[in-house]
Amino acid sequence: MEGEVRLFTEVDKSEYENYDIIQVNMSTQDLHILGDVREVIGDNSKTKLVANNDYTLELWAQSFPYLSTLKREIQYADMIFGTEPYQVGALELLTGRKVHLITHPAFVKRLKTLKVDSSEKYVSVISHRYDNNNIVPSLALKGIDYKTRLIGYDSNSDSQHFKTTTLYNETMKATNYMDFCFPAGNKIIMGDNSYKNIESVQVGDSVFTIDGEKEVLNTMERKIDEEIYKVSPSGRPSFMVTKNHPFKTEIGEFNTLENINMLRKDIIKLTNLDKITLTEFIPEVLNTRWYEVSDTSIINRVGSTKLSLPKVLKLDRDLGYLIGAFVAEGSYMGDDKGIQITLGLKDKLDKFPEVFKRVFGLDILHTINRKNHTINYYSNSKLIRRVIQLFVGGRVSFNKYLKDLCFSNIEFVKGLLESIIQGDGYYNKRAIEIVTTSEILSNQLLDLFETLHIYPNKYIRHTKGNISYIDGREIKFNSDSYDIRIMAPTYYNLTSELLLNSVLPNKQVYNNRDSSHIWTSDYVLIPFKYETCDYNGIVYNIEVKDNNQYSLNTSTVHNCDQLLESKVVYDPFSLTSQGRVGWDCAALGIPVVGSDRNESYRVCFPKTCVDPYDVKTANKLLKRLIEDTEFRDEVIAYAKEAVNIVSYDNSRKLYLQALEEGSPKLED
């Protein structure tokens, strides 16, 4: 089946017969649609009118209070189908016509490729807002030495909320194994400590996690029109996320925003690398006629002169300071020749030539521009250019970013930040501030400050086209800018002490709200607020190998695959339903003790299917699935084969067959 698919509300009546199929999912408010469409297209139209019903029978009384109305309206359909057997039988008795069984398809092929991580040893219980059967099922967990997690829990529909939450280790609102969670534009920390928009992350990329770089196994997207959350972390720009996305907690577990008090952001760990051998990072020096390499130095021919650089560079505060000056005020010269750095005529920057000489053993050429009050330092050495490129990516200010070598050791970071503050920032007794036009760089600066346990605020200035003056220099903004601002006394004083003590000796004493963050060696906890907002657009998620987590600039989050962390799942849904969770677990290879009122468990898990209130039998089966490896493997293997019935390929086949057969009258 190929072609254009559109929402019914987007199609004008005059276009109805341009489509092969018009399908209506029957509900109270949509009952009239079938008759309205039939009136337009007539009885002999080539356009097939399809009606399906996926309301569980227990909800018919409130959804279809007058069965005679349902019967009258559904008769306009050419083909009728339901999603579970009891529902199909009821519809056939009501209409006297053939009703097909076509369950909602599952991503069987895709789910079978996902890796189940049962190392966390969760027993997950599925909650359903339609029956709120949460308290009695907790009895089935007795004697099971695993963490328990209630998934899909809606506290708003539970009149015994406070009791329910005491019965499980965790309650989680999300039920989806791979929910789609973030709108475009949210920044993800990549494996090299750079940033990408979530919509730009690709399969095979690596992302930062507390456990090291992890590969992106899959990317996902879909369109939504629903309420989501706008999250405002302390002192940082807000971001949007779907309501059921799990965030990392202080103890390393995951929960939704309603159930946490602080956002946890895992801190990038420095590599503690203290030196680099240039021949390893710039191998072309070994086979290019422009260079001579000895045991201790590399000689770079520049015109008629030779420049000798040390073969091994220390990643110390001096080199950090030099790199920071280039980040703030540097650019690459044309024709791949070298670098130039333009600095303001200020006492605090007079040390730059001395630093350059200590790092490279060379004097750097410079010219003075009296009109602009600047000094222009430059070197036409290709080798020095290549060294800078090891640390700094991008060519101009609005796209500069730091490469992973900049996250080496504390002393290097101190020099880097000191120089960037002096070149792209200013300070007084109230604040220390850095202004940059590179969004990626602004996020990386936050990460570097956080390695020193300093939490700066970040603000976005819509400054494109504006002119500003910093220390007498005219600055014209060709793009929006980002302010990194340190104001809280704790962080202001720490920054002054670590980075600016020589020029800013006085500690800040003015009255201002102090730090409210909590620090460890691995993470920072950040206060936040959130509110609901409407969102209509595409949202994205990524699947990460092994630990199933990734980080934004202000928080660490989960894939939304709570089912994948489950050793076993217990679903005591008491209503007659197809049981979507059962199909998903079968394809994932997760054993389930499921309700015998759900089609998915009858089909895929016949040996572990029980009455939803038979908690004693459920308890025995849960224990057996955990302890009896042979039985567990047998249950999983059977389910993985049986679930193919709801694959997209098979569902498409059933749908086409039903469409061809239609829904003729049944013989008595």
Tens of pLDDT, residues 326-374: 999 888 887 777 888 888 756 556 688 889 999 999 888 888 776 666 7
Highest mean pLDDT among 497-506, 514-523, 566-575: 566-575
Mean pLDDT of all residues in 155-168: 84
Residue 544 in tokens: 């990460």
Are residues 100 and 45 part of one domain? yes
CA-closest candidate to residue 134, choices 146, 149, 118: 149
Over 60: is that where the pLDDT of 514 sits? Answer: no
Range of the domain at 284: 275-519
Residue 79's closest CA among 64, 94, 62, 98?
A: 98
pLDDT digits over 424-463, tens only? Answer: 888 877 889 998 989 999 999 999 999 999 999 999 987 7
Question: Which one, of 407, 448, 447, 388, lies nearest residue 272 by Cα?
Answer: 407
- The answer, yes or no, to whether residue 568 has pLDDT greater than 90, is yes
Residue 490 has what pLDDT? 85
Helix extents (H) in 119-232: 161-164
Position 151 scores a pLDDT of: 87
| Shared-domain flag, residues 452 and 592 | no
Q: Which residues partner with 307 through β-bridges?
A: 300
Tally the domains of the chain: 3
Q: Are residues 101 and 112 in the same domain?
A: no
486, 519, 552: which is the final residue of a domain?
519
Among residues 489, 519, 549, the one where a domain terminates is 519
Res 509: pLDDT: 47
Which amino acid, residue 24? Answer: V
Residue 100's beta-bridge partner residues?
81
- Answer yes or no: is 525 within a domain: no
Is residue 95 domain-shared with residue 25, that is, in the same domain? yes
Kindly state whether residue 270 falls inside one of the protein's structural domains: no
Mutual angle of helices 410-424 and 439-451, in 10-degree steps: 130
Tell me: do 591 and 657 sit in the same domain.
no
pLDDT of the residue at 511 = 42
Closest residue by Cα to residue 660 from 103, 83, 105, 98: 98
**C-beta of residue 3 within 8 angstroms of C-beta of residue 21:** no
Taking a C-beta distance cutoff of 8 angstroms, is the pair 407, 417 a contact? Answer: no
- CA 401 to chain CA centroid, Å, is 21
Please name the residue that has the structure tokens 């059962």. Answer: 582
Residue 651 pLDDT exceeds 90 = yes
Q: Which two tokens stand for residue 326?
A: 């280039």
Evaluate if pTM is beyond 0.85.
no
Q: How far is CA 191 from CA 115, 544, 628, 658, in A?
A: 21, 12, 40, 49
pLDDT of residue 318: 96
Tell me the per-residue pLDDT of 378-410, one tens digit each, with 9 for 90 and over.
888 888 999 999 999 987 777 899 999 999 999
* Contact partners, residue 667, CB within 8 Å, separation at least 6: none
Please check whether residues 494 and 627 belong to one and the same domain: no
Q: What is the pLDDT of residue 303?
A: 67
pLDDT higher than threshold 50 for residue 505: no
Q: What is the DSSP string of 248-273?
A: E-TTS-EE-GGG-SSEEEEPPPP---
pLDDT in tens, 599-627: 999 999 999 999 999 999 999 999 999 99
Residues β-bridged to residue 594: 571, 609
pLDDT band at 660 (very low <50, low <70, confident <90, very high): very high
Report residue 574 CA to chain centroid gap.
34
Identify the weakest region by mean pLDDT among 176-180, 208-212, 540-544. Answer: 176-180
- CA distance linking residue 13 with residue 23, whole number of Å: 14
Residue where the block lists tokens 């102090």: 514
CATH code, domain carrying 82 = 3.40.50.2000
pLDDT value of position 80:
96
Query: Could you tell me if residue 262 is inside a domain?
Result: no
| Predicted local distance difference test score (pLDDT) of residue 640 | 95
Does any domain span residue 529? no
| CA pair distance 177, 589, nearest whole angstrom | 13
Which tokens hold the place of 83? 């999603």
Q: Do residues 81 and 55 make contact, with C-beta atoms less than 8 angstroms apart? A: no
Contact call for residues 588 and 108 (beta carbons, < 8 A): no
Domain shared by 286 and 420, yes or no: yes
**Band of residue 475 on the pLDDT scale cut at 50, 70, 90:** low
DSSP 319-384: HHHHHHHHHHHEEEPGGG--EEEEEES-GGGTTHHHHHHHHHSS--EEEEETTTTEEEEEE--HHH
CB count within 10 Å of CB 78 equals 17
Boundary (domain end) residue, out of 466, 500, 519? 519
Sequence-separated (6 or more) residues with CB below 8 Å from residue 181: 241, 242, 245, 539, 540, 541, 557, 560
Q: What mean pLDDT, rounded, does the chain reach?
A: 87
Neighbours of 134 (CB within 10 A): 25
pLDDT (tens digit per residue) in 584-603: 999 989 999 999 999 999 99
Q: CA-CA distances (angstroms) from residue 242 to 246, 256, 301, 539? A: 10, 10, 57, 8
Mean pLDDT for 620-645 is: 96
Distance CA 176, CA 561 (A): 6
In a domain, 548, yes or no: no
AA identity, residue 468: S
Top pLDDT among 443 and 308 is at 443
Tell me, what's the pLDDT at 120? 57
Distances, alpha carbon 174 to alpha carbons 159, 203, 248, 561, 594, in Å: 19, 24, 14, 9, 19
Helix H or strand E encompassing 310: strand 305-310
Give the sheet arrangement for strand 297-302, strand by strand.
291-293, 297-302, 305-310
Q: How far is the C-alpha of 290 from the C-alpha of 299, rounded, in Å?
A: 8
Looking at the structure, do residues 282 and 420 belong to the same domain, yes or no? yes
Segment 250-302, tens digit of pLDDT: 888 788 898 899 999 999 999 999 999 999 999 988 877 788 899 999 988 76
Q: Do 616 and 655 reside in the same domain of the chain?
A: no
Write down the pLDDT at residue 119.
57
Q: Are residues 302 and 364 in the same domain?
A: yes
Question: Over 80: is that where the pLDDT of 571 sits?
Answer: yes
User: In the predicted model, what is the mean pLDDT of residues 215-222?
Assistant: 86
My answer on whether 589 and 446 are in the same domain is: no
Residue for token digits 């703030």? 328
Per-residue pLDDT of 51-99, as tens digits, reads 998 888 888 888 888 899 999 999 999 999 999 999 999 999 999 999 9
Examine the domain organization and report whether 13 and 145 are in the same domain: no
Phi, psi at 630, each rounded to 5°: -65, -45
Distance CA 180, CA 538 (A): 9
